[in-house]
Structures are given as C-alpha cells and as structure tokens.
C-alpha cells in the first residue's frame, strides 16, 4: 500500500437536491475528492429548461458549491426541440430521461422513450448528451434494466450521432451491451455502491434501507462483470456516483426512498474497493479521464492524494447516513 496522487474526480452523476439536503450534498463533493460534477435535474420542481438549469447552478454556487458544475435538464413529455436548443445555448450538457415511476421523482417520466424522437433529433443536432435511467416501467425489478436494452438499441440506431450515457448500470447484460456496441457515441456510468454490494446486502437476512437504490443492486455475477469491465480499462465505462441523499425518516420507512448517499467518501470508498480488487492503477482513468473525454472536457488540473489509512466511516454526514457507514475504509484523502 502506498500513496496515490491523481487528478481530482469528475463525478458525472450526482444529486445535489434543492432543499435541506443540499448543504450536506454540497459539502460532500470536495471531501469525496471531486472537482467537477454533473448535477441531476430531478429536483422538486424539476429542472426543465436552460433557464431553470442556470438558476439552479447559481443557487448551488450561492449555497457554497465550489466545484465546476455541469448542468442537465429533465426530459418529459412536454420537452420540445426548442427547449433543447435553448438549453444547449445556455450551457446544459445533458438531457436526462427517467422512465415513468421507476425511481425518485420520476412521476413525470416516459413510458416509451421513443415518444421523444423529435427531442432526440434536436439533441443530436446540438450535440447534447442523452442521459438515460435505463429501466422499463412495470417490468420485474431484477429484469427492468435488461429489458431496457432493446430500447437503447433502437435509440442508438435511429440517432447514430447522439451521444448516450446509460447511467448507473447494474447488470452483466448492460456491461455486455455497451462492450459489444459498435457505436462510439455510447458510454455507461458505474456507481461506487454497485462495485461493492449485491441484492443480498439490500434484502439478505436483514433489510438495509440505506443500501436501497434504483436500479437495485443485482447478483454476484453482475457485480463481477462490473468489476471486470472496470479492471479492463475500457474507456466507455466511467464513474458517476449517483450519490442521492434522502433524510433518514424517508429511508427508514414502510415506503422508503431509493438512493444511496456516497459522495462524502467517494474516492476513499473507490480506492478501498480498487485496492482490494488489486486494480488501483485503473482508478484515475475511471474517475478522472474517461468521463471527461466522453463529455469533451479538459481533464481536471487539481490533484488529490489517496493515503493508506484504516478508518471507520461515520454513522452520519450532515444528518444523513452515508454509504459504508460504520465500515472500515483503507484510504483517506488529501487535496494537494
């Protein structure tokens, strides 16, 4: 075990919220080693236009967010090509599609993604990234991601120059789909938690609400496929924590919310996982190069140092239960 100096991370999928959770979500970003984030638009009310995104970005910076913020808008049945063109003009880099009802704040999601074909056409024209929560509404939860892949295939073939990110993938099927795709416009994000837990850690001998997220963690073979594709160094797979804070009473409830709060110790957790899997040399490209390249951004110039040290993740961060609470990690983080 040695020190690892690397570029600060791009967290290309994070939920910063617009309420009492924002303060913890914002503070967590630097602690977890990120110097640029892509903020998801499923706030309430949602970020639906370029103007909303600019307002949200300015609000987050006023709340103390001191990293570069990449903006997204939420795609709904009311999104038009004009909204896309204006959002791109105002700097939004991605439009996020949520299938109807599959996750937190997706009640305005779509049953059939191709309903948005004219919107995809406009996104292709202005080179805005399509960010997909890839699950099919109503399909058995363990199969919902795999069932989405034919829809993704259709989107890729109808819009060959549309850059698409399949977010927070959880299955070997999704890994294989992206690996086998001939498209240079397709990539996938992988979360911290999906490199660590399976369904047994959510509903094994006990219910662990703080391990519950969508798409839900799957089987050991799926976990293995995710680890192995990261180990392979394939540039189409990059880090997006999907850090998604919820208040404790919203998690520990008879109808608990989906989402895992991983950003406070994002790089410390990843370093511990990568080190245990003997793939530390892959970490920097996964968190700080592949995603930047896909989004067409310069790589971060700020650097962090991950230092070997055994320490215990606190039970709470800003009143919220962080991922790995009470567990031992093997690295701490310093900004250089």
Which among 180, 185, 189 is positioned nearest to 123, based on CA atoms? Answer: 185
Of all residues in the shown chain, the one whose CB is closest to Zn ion is: 133
Determine the interface stretch with Zn ion among 100-108, 190-198, 274-282, 302-310 (rule: CB under 5 A). 100-108
For Zn ion, the binding residues in 155-194 under the rule CB under 5 A are none
Could you give the residue ranges of the DSSP H alpha helices within the chain? 22-31, 50-62, 81-89, 117-126, 144-158, 172-180, 200-203, 220-232, 248-251, 266-276, 283-288, 290-295
How many CA atoms does the CB half-sphere of 2 hold within 13 Å? 5
**Residues 184-213: x where in contact with ligand NCD by CB under 6 A, - otherwise, as a string:** -----------------------------x
Instruction: Give the CA angle between residues 165, 169, 172 to the nearest 5°.
Output: 120
From 7, 15, 21, 251, residue interacting with ligand NCD (rule: CB under 6 A)? 15
Alpha-carbon dihedral sign for residues 42, 195, 184, 173: negative
User: Can residue 244 be called a binding residue for ligand NCD (CB under 6 A)?
Assistant: yes
Measure the CA–CA gap between 40 and 320, rounded to whole angstroms. Answer: 19
- Give the one entry of ligand NCD, Zn ion, none that residue 134 binds, where binding means its C-beta sits below a cut-off of 5 to 8 angstroms depending on kind: none
Measured in whole angstroms, the distance separating CA 134 from the mean position of its chain's CA atoms is 12
Token output for 22: 């924002």
User: Can residue 287 be called a binding residue for ligand NCD (CB under 6 A)?
Assistant: no
Q: Which of 58, 242, 250, 315 is catalytic?
A: 242
Sheet holding 34-39, edge to edge: 9-14, 34-39, 68-70
From 10, 52, 196, 242, residue interacting with Zn ion (rule: CB under 5 A)? 242
User: Can residue 133 be called a binding residue for ligand NCD (CB under 6 A)?
Assistant: yes
Give 312's strand partners. 328
- Give the one entry of ligand NCD, Zn ion, none that residue 22 binds, where binding means its C-beta sits below a cut-off of 5 to 8 angstroms depending on kind: none
Total residues at interface with Zn ion (CB under 5 A): 3
Provide, rounded to whole angstroms, the least separation between the CB of residue 36 and ligand NCD. 19
User: Can residue 242 be called a binding residue for ligand NCD (CB under 6 A)?
Assistant: yes
Determine the interface stretch with Zn ion among 18-26, 125-133, 202-210, 283-291 (rule: CB under 5 A). 125-133
User: Can residue 104 be called a binding residue for ligand NCD (CB under 6 A)?
Assistant: yes
242 is known as an active-site residue? yes
Which among 273, 302, 279, 299 is positioned nearest to 288, based on CA atoms? Answer: 299
Residues within the interface to ligand NCD (CB under 6 A): 15, 42, 103-104, 133, 213-214, 242, 244, 258-259
> Active-site residue numbers?
242
Residues within the interface to Zn ion (CB under 5 A): 103, 133, 242
């Amino acid at each position: 075990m040695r020190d690892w100096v690397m570029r600060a991370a791009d967290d290309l999928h994070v939920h910063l919220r617009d309420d009492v959770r924002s303060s913890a979500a914002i503070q967590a970003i630097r602690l977890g080693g990120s110097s640029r984030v892509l903020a998801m638009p499923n706030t309430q009310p949602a970020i639906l236009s370029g103007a909303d995104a600019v307002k949200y970005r300015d609000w987050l910076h006023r709340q103390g967010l001191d990293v570069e913020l990449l903006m997204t808008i939420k795609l709904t049945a009311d999104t038009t090509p004009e909204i896309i063109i204006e959002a791109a003009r105002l700097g939004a880099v991605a439009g996020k599609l949520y299938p109807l009802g599959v996750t937190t704040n997706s009640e305005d999601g779509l049953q059939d993604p191709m309903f948005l074909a004219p919107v995809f056409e406009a996104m292709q024209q202005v080179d805005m990234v399509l960010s997909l929560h890839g699950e099919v509404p109503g399909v058995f939860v363990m199969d919902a991601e795999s069932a989405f892949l034919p829809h993704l295939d259709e989107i890729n073939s109808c819009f060959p120059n549309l850059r698409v990110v399949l977010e927070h993938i959880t299955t070997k099927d999704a890994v294989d789909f992206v690996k086998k795709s001939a498209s240079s416009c397709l990539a996938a994000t992988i979360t911290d938690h999906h490199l660590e837990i399976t369904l047994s850690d959510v509903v094994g001998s006990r219910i662990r609400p703080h391990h519950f997220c969508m798409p839900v963690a799957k089987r050991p073979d799926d976990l293995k496929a995710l680890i192995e594709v990261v180990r392979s160094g394939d540039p189409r797979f990059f880090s997006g924590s999907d850090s998604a804070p919820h208040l404790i009473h919203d998690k520990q409830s008879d109808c608990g919310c989906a989402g895992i709060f991983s950003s406070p110790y994002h790089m410390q957790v990843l370093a511990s996982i990568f080190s245990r899997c003997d793939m530390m040399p892959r970490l920097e490209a996964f968190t700080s190069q592949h995603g930047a390249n896909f989004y067409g951004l310069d790589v971060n110039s700020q650097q962090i140092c991950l230092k070997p040290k055994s320490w215990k993740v606190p039970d709470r961060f800003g009143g919220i239960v962080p991922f790995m609470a009470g567990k031992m990690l093997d690295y701490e983080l310093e900004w250089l």
